[in-house]
Structure 1
């Protein structure tokens, strides 16, 4: 089942401080916990009793959605990632690692396999994405041996596609697909030289921009998993005989 953005060098310190303040505003991102529709091809083989997922950040549920039947949903909530990344009065520091453990809880009543799509981007004050700024500078660390695998062939610098390889029982929560987030310190070193007559100024490339994290969660039934995953996610997987794990 498919779920569902000055003069130099005299003002260097001042400018870096301003850059840190601007990046502070970028600690707010958005998140979607989405269950998309199940495949009609397998509706007869599915237990539609209750399928649901909750996105968890640092131990707290951020978003959730539970599918009941037809167009009926329950427990539909949507929050924001990174909202509590900094402590009170704490200033954001490029290069520093911040806790960012993202996991998934099966809030439904049937065993499922889950997939998460993480999208990283830079946006201006109006929320418009700037495709010329590098999402590679937004570093979300994926720990080893967590049960999560990154589908490299489906991923890009902006988009990470991760699969949890074990079946997730009702009420169970996965290990974190990430543990920390870090913005490469080079973000404060990328400047453009602007010459206007005898005046030379340096403009920070990322000045005025914020970094953003989106997460989309999908849940697929374990029953007839190979066919259901192919239909829902369009990927071929191997499934253990007891339908408790998948492989790529």
Structure 2
């Protein structure tokens, strides 16, 4: 038997703009105020026998339309700094299981349209002692994290420890020059001004019995060493 449990959690985050809901100060970039806001979280679940997995944020289960990253609203954020943000996979089932987190990082405009801007600028500090990170294409929005060892039933395993925005956004500017008489006015426009960060997280779990075959069937990857209890590589 191959059992699998999954859930998706979504948060859309405004960056470098003043948003209407739950303002989170990002500090100043070139003298301009900036903010983050979080909204539109959802979860979809598929019921399976014996295995259940969920996402927790700073020890609290993320459920329903509850927003991710809310704890970051307690302090101003500054580009180039990392902030504590504990995202963990919780094994809510009856058996131990290998767990995968699939994180989608992307940018949106005010209407929700995806933008062709670098997801690399959305930073995460991963707990690499317990998770293998697969990020083959840094220009792609998807980062996958695989638990190196099974997560015991009833336990949670921290995957992401910190999040932030790369300081390079402050250097991505366009300057226009307007001359009127003897006066020249320089206008600086920030490339990411008014855009939004999108963050989706999928959580999946696979049984430990015949783990390599189960993982290949469920996730389509070869997890070397899984049958012996420790994943040493993903390909």
Same fold, TM-score > 0.5, yes or no: yes
In structure 2, which of residues 90, 93, 98 is the aligned counterpart of residue 113 of structure 1? 98
Residues of 1 paired with 2:112 and 2:69: CA distance? 16
The alignment of Structure 1 onto Structure 2 pairs a total of residues equal to: 208
Query: What is the aligned partner in structure 2 of residue 180 from structure 1?
Result: 162
Query: What is the aligned partner in structure 1 of residue 36 from structure 2?
Result: 24
Query: What is the aligned partner in structure 1 of residue 141 from structure 2?
Result: 158
Structure 1 residues 240, 18: CA separation in 2 closer, same or farther (over 3 Å shift)?
closer
Structure 1 residues 173, 15: CA separation in 2 closer, same or farther (over 3 Å shift)?
closer
Query: What is the aligned partner in structure 2 of residue 70 from structure 1?
Result: none
Query: What is the aligned partner in structure 2 of residue 238 from structure 1?
Result: 224
Residues of 2 paired with 1:155 and 1:205: CA distance? 19
The answer to whether the 8 A contact 2:106-2:115 is kept is yes
Residues of 2 paired with 1:134 and 1:240: CA distance? 33
1:31 positional shift: 5.8
Residues of 2 paired with 1:54 and 1:180: CA distance? 19
Query: What is the aligned partner in structure 1 of residue 119 from structure 2?
Result: 135
1:144 positional shift: 3.6
Query: What is the aligned partner in structure 1 of residue 5 from structure 2?
Result: 3
> Deviation per CA, 1:33-56, whole angstroms, max 9, x where unpaired?
66568xxxxxxxxxx533211101
Query: What is the aligned partner in structure 2 of residue 40 from structure 1?
Result: none
1:19 positional shift: 4.1
1:125 positional shift: 2.1
1:155 positional shift: 6.7
SS in 2 for 1:85: helix
Query: What is the aligned partner in structure 1 of residue 66 from structure 2?
Result: 79
Richer in strand (by share): 2
Higher relative contact order (CA 8 A, sep 6+): 1
In structure 2, which of residues 197, 211, 215 is the aligned counterpart of residue 225 of structure 1? 211
Unaligned runs of 5+ in 2: 7-15, 17-26
Is 1:54 paired with 2:57? no
Q: CA RMSD in A?
A: 2.8
Query: What is the aligned partner in structure 2 of residue 213 from structure 1?
Result: 199
Richer in helix (by share): 1
Unaligned runs of 5+ in 1: 6-12, 38-47, 64-76
> Given the two structures, how large is their TM-score scaled by the length of structure 1?
0.72
> Deviation per CA, 1:99-122, whole angstroms, max 9, x where unpaired?
111111101112211100111112
Residues of 2 paired with 1:166 and 1:93: CA distance? 35
In structure 1, which of residues 189, 203, 210 is the aligned counterpart of residue 189 of structure 2? 203
The answer to whether the 8 A contact 1:113-1:219 is kept is yes
Structure 1 residues 223, 32: CA separation in 2 closer, same or farther (over 3 Å shift)?
farther
Residues of 1 paired with 2:179 and 2:57: CA distance? 51
In structure 1, which of residues 171, 178, 185 is the aligned counterpart of residue 154 of structure 2? 171
SS in 2 for 1:91: coil
